[in-house]
Structure 1
Amino acid sequence: MKVLVLGADGYLGWPLSLRLAIKGHEVMGIDNLATRRAVEEIGSNSAFPLPSPQERVKEAKRILGVNIDFSIGDITNKEFLREAIKSYKPDAVVHFAEQRSAPYSMKDLDHAVYTVRNNLESTLNLIYLVKDIDPSIHILKMGTMGEYGTPNFDIPESPFVDAIVNGKNDKIFTPRWGGSVYHMSKIFDSYFLAYFNRIFNLTITDIMQGPVYGTRTSEIVEESLRTRFDFDETWGTVVNRFCVEAILGIPLTPYGKGGQTRGFLSLEDSINALTLLLENPPKREEYRVVNQFMEIYSINEIAEIVKRAGEDLGLDVTINHVENPRVEAEEHYYNPERKVLPALGYKPKKNLAEEVKIMIEDLIPYKERLERYKTAIMPKTKWKS
């Protein structure tokens, strides 16, 4: 299988490229390196020093014996993306090339507009170019469980649900309510994908993924193969951020009451699931939605798990709730459905309690580097500022 990975320099994009190449698939990666620049913009950096994409590709060849093509470019440039698809002729395109941070999208008008333009333009470019060049290409698009919000009903995996409208049976798109400009852009992505699936007969997997945690996958066997790891308030997911706080002696910082509940999964399990979905595409011309998570926790539960793991490793870890900078329900019902991956035989390999200890052990040698960016950890971006 030939796979074009858009956003191949990212937290998920790089390890997915490694996994696919190890399994014998041909991989071409594209990235405009925007995340590297945006993280520097807010005064932070990856916990692990990152080689250039070109150096990474050389190291993958040297250490793992795999070939990964890599090109720097921006897929909001439709002619660049057109040429990439036409020349590479992929069987599948993985779309990770979006601005992925909710806080970044909420900083001000400019960041909100950039998020919407970048995310929706890249998705529309991909949809139309696949339609024009080869409609049989499988589009695998990264969405987020955050598209659903926190409704007081079970979250179905089906993209359409039955409804009674004016006394008649009808189907509506599964209700969504995002918690940031970023999440709203993802919702519009899903509407576009479902709509153009119907009129262009495209084959699409739309993944609703929960927050991912972890420092490594099975392919990351040396430092030069590491993926990026963000821990600041803008780019770092909560588990990753808590692990760094534990190492630096900063109290873990649940926002508000800490009752916010989400579905989480490890980096290894995310890459396993993505690979499985690529190797088992939906039926031709199908729009498939996948709720991709493995464990459900509240933020308070995560803080306690990280605290215990840190203490087991000799760290002095405390918890200090801080004012919630976001506008979100802090206590709520949460019960999402998950059927597609289990039906494909998927079984998770990791669990949070065990993985957190590995994460802390991986990060401790970089404590001095983490200290340099500790001022970027506490929340500064406020939804209502």
Structure 2
Amino acid sequence: MNVLILGVDGYIGWPLALRLLKRGHMVYGVDSFFTRRRVKEVHSDSVLPIEPFSIRNKKLHARMQKQVTFFRGDVSDAKFMYDVVEASRPDVIVHLAEQRSAPYSMIGLKQATETMVKNIVSTLNLIYAVKDIVPEAHILKMGTMGEYGTPNIDIPEGFFEVEYNGRRDYLPFPKFASSWYHWTKVHDSNNLMFASKVWNLSVTDVMQGVVYGTRTPEIVETGLYTRFDVDEVFGTALNRFCAQAIANLPITPYGKGGQTRGFISLEDSVQCLTLLAENPPDRGEYRVFNQFDEHYSVLKLATIVKEVYEEEFGGIAEIKHVENPRVEKEEHYYNPIHENLKKLGFRRTKELRDEVELMLQDLSQFRDKILSMREVIEPRTFWKESRGLVQGEKVVEES
């Protein structure tokens, strides 16, 4: 099977490429390295060392005798997207090539506009390239559980039955996102659903929970890390908490810490995406999967990290509540359904505590680097302070 991964240099894209190569697929990869540049923009870096992609790919070939056929470019450029799809003729395209940070999108107008334009346009470019060149191909799009928000009812997988004024229908579940980034994912979902209906395209829309972890078997076998961000803009809660514990910094849940979300390990995320790629939908089918292992409050995660660090590493970890920079409910009902992946054979492989212990082991090698990043770990991007255009600033810079 020919697999095209958009965003192959990323946290999930790289280990997914390793998995698919190991399983015998031909893997084509695309990246513009925007994430590397955006992380530098907020004065941060990946804690785990990652080399330039060309060097990673050469080392991959030396260790697996396989490598990614790579295209460098921006998928929000329509001609580039068309050229890549024409050259690779993929059976499945995994779309991970979007600005992935809610805090980044809330820094100000420049970042909000960049996120909106790049994310939505890249998905439209993909839709049209598939329609015009490989209409039988499967689009596997990475969405987010954050599209749903935190409604006071159970969250289905994409669609639900509704009755109103005596009439019933089966409709898309309402979305209520919490950042400009999350709203781009909502717009992507709507555009993909519409394109599937109009042009008979095969689409899998993955509502993924927050991903955590440092390892997959292929990373262990090759020694080629994927990126791992811990700053307040690109670092997700559990990854950030583990870094704080290792560096003897306070573990900082935002506000009360009752915010509850679905979480999934990196290994299980790669397992799910591989399963979905190898089990495509029917032609013209638009399907939705809620992809997570379990849901936890951020305070529960902080407590688990504290317990594992103290029990297994002999240190002392402090939990310190800090002002919540986001506009969100800090206590709420949360019960999303996630049955569709199980029907395809997905079984959780990683227990949270075991994975936290592995993360702490891996991060302990880079304690000094984490300490040097202390200032960018603390929350500085406050939703209510998102800034507008300042004099002389461009809203969207040239790529």
| Same fold per superposition (TM over 0.5) | yes
Following TM superposition, the consecutive aligned residue runs of length 4 or more in structure 1 with deviations greater than 6 angstroms are none
CA distance in 2, matches of 1:197, 1:25: 25
CA contact (8 A) 2:257 2:321 kept: yes
Long gaps (5+) in structure 1: none
CA contact (8 A) 2:245 2:309 kept: yes
Long gaps (5+) in structure 2: 386-399
Per-residue Cα deviation, 1:210-250 (whole angstroms, up to 9, x for no partner): 00000010001267510000000000010000001101111
* Larger mean Cα displacement after TM superposition, 181-190 or 162-171: 162-171
Identical aligned residues as a percent? 52
CA distance in 1, matches of 2:304, 2:62: 37
Q: Does 1:296 align with 2:292?
A: no
CA offset at residue 337 of structure 1? Answer: 0.7
Mapping of 1:171-320 within 5 angstroms? 171-221=170-220, 225-312=224-311, 313-320=313-320
* Larger mean Cα displacement after TM superposition, 369-378 or 317-326: 369-378
Aligned residues: 384
Q: Does 1:101 align with 2:69?
A: no
CA distance in 1, matches of 2:170, 2:288: 16
CA offset at residue 172 of structure 1? Answer: 2.7
Cα 1:97/1:124, change in 2 over 3 Å: same
Secondary structure of 1:36's counterpart equals helix
CA offset at residue 326 of structure 1? Answer: 0.4
Aligned to 2:155: 155
Per-residue Cα deviation, 1:154-191 (whole angstroms, up to 9, x for no partner): 1111x332223443223332111000000011000000
Which letter does structure 1 place at the counterpart of 2:146? G
Aligned to 1:81: 81
CA distance in 2, matches of 1:162, 1:342: 21
Secondary structure of 2:30's counterpart equals strand
CA contact (8 A) 2:247 2:368 kept: no
Cα 1:26/1:223, change in 2 over 3 Å: closer
CA contact (8 A) 1:53 1:70 kept: no
Cα-Cα RMSD: 1.1
Which letter does structure 2 place at the counterpart of 1:84? V
Secondary structure of 1:225's counterpart equals coil
CA contact (8 A) 2:63 2:222 kept: no
CA distance in 2, matches of 1:66, 1:138: 24
Aligned to 2:328: 328
Per-residue Cα deviation, 1:242-280 (whole angstroms, up to 9, x for no partner): 001101111110101100111111000100010001011
* Larger mean Cα displacement after TM superposition, 87-96 or 58-67: 58-67
CA contact (8 A) 1:56 1:224 kept: no
CA distance in 2, matches of 1:9, 1:352: 25
Aligned to 1:37: 37
Mapping of 1:7-26 within 5 angstroms? 7-26=7-26
Which letter does structure 2 place at the counterpart of 1:372? S
* Larger mean Cα displacement after TM superposition, 30-39 or 70-79: 70-79
Per-residue Cα deviation, 1:122-142 (whole angstroms, up to 9, x for no partner): 000000110011111100000
Q: Does 1:71 align with 2:71?
A: yes
CA distance in 1, matches of 2:64, 2:229: 25
Secondary structure of 2:306's counterpart equals helix
CA distance in 2, matches of 1:261, 1:131: 38
Per-residue Cα deviation, 1:78-97 (whole angstroms, up to 9, x for no partner): 11110111111110000000
CA contact (8 A) 1:59 1:224 kept: no
CA contact (8 A) 2:102 2:179 kept: yes
CA distance in 2, matches of 1:16, 1:323: 36
Aligned to 1:371: 371
Per-residue Cα deviation, 1:300-343 (whole angstroms, up to 9, x for no partner): 11011000111121222010000111011111111111111110
CA distance in 2, matches of 1:322, 1:202: 46
Which letter does structure 2 place at the counterpart of 1:202? L
Secondary structure of 2:383's counterpart equals coil
Secondary structure of 1:170's counterpart equals strand
Secondary structure of 1:221's counterpart equals helix
Secondary structure of 2:220's counterpart equals coil
CA distance in 2, matches of 1:350, 1:169: 40
Which letter does structure 1 place at the counterpart of 2:349? K
